[in-house]
Chain A
Amino acid sequence: NAGVTQTPKFQVLKTGQSMTLQCAQDMNHEYMSWYRQDPGMGLRLIHYSVGAGITDQGEVPNGYNVSRSTTEDFPLRLLSAAPSQTSVYFCASSYSGTSGDLYEQYFGPGTRLTVT
């Protein structure tokens, strides 16, 4: 299994541009999520999905869109990039249920995004 894969690894955007960060998993996990990681702060949840066709907002959803058309893929779209979105983005997946079920959460390698 490849686990959780993310593309691209690095990206530079100009303010106002749009782009899609790709995330895929081959573990048949129902739950997938996107986090951003900024220096000195813990990971913050952007959006998550508990299955195909179901998405919900996390702690910091503004400026981002998601969709989940298949179990495997969970792309994150930046609608109009802003310098405040400069960050490292991680995708994660897990079996469904809740975090209290002690399932492991698997993270991808991350995408480092810079917005100028």
Chain B
Amino acid sequence: KNQVEQSPQSLIILEGKNCTLQCNYTVSPFSNLRWYKQDTGRGPVSLTIMTFSENTKSNGRYTATLDADTKQSSLHITASQLSDSASYICVVTTGASWGKLQFGAGTQVVVTP
């Protein structure tokens, strides 16, 4: 069973609207949580990295939140743009080794005009 579950699997939003993606994890021990953006046909690109002591981190119109007690994270996209159409991947690390990263399956976001 995947230790990182993302929801929804996909969503369609109108340009200019906001949306929130969810990530629930069971990975333990926990070191940090990363959100990546993956454009179609490209490799993932890092958006945010959060340690267990951080509740929120922003990168432009992207804001990630983390609740380490409930093992939940969210990624909020504000005032969506067509260029936000991509897959968003949640990654949880144990900190022990780069080989111990756990990847979620991603949420596919489509922004329509």
Contact = CB atoms under 8 A, between A and B. Distances in A.
Interface of A: 4, 31, 33, 40-45, 48, 50, 56, 58, 90, 92, 94, 98-100, 102, 104-105, 107-110
A105 B44 CA distance: 9
A42 B6 CA distance: 10
Interface of B: 2, 4, 31-32, 41-46, 49, 51, 89, 93-106
Contacts of B46: 104-105
A53 B96 CA distance: 21
Given A98-B98, A99-B93, A107 B43 contact: yes
Nearest to B36: A107
B45 A56 contact: no
9 contacts: A40-B105, A43-B103, A100-B32, A100-B94, A100-B95, A102-B51, A107-B43, A107-B45, A109-B42
A1 B49 CA distance: 23
A110 B96 contact: no
B56 to A, nearest CB: 16
A56 B98 CA distance: 11
B39 to A, nearest CB: 10
Contacts of B4: 42
A81 to B, nearest CB: 22
Contact of A99 (B44, B45, B95): B95
- Max chain B C-beta neighbours (<10 A), residue from A31, A94, A105, A110: A105
Contacts of A41: 2, 105
Contacts of B106: 42
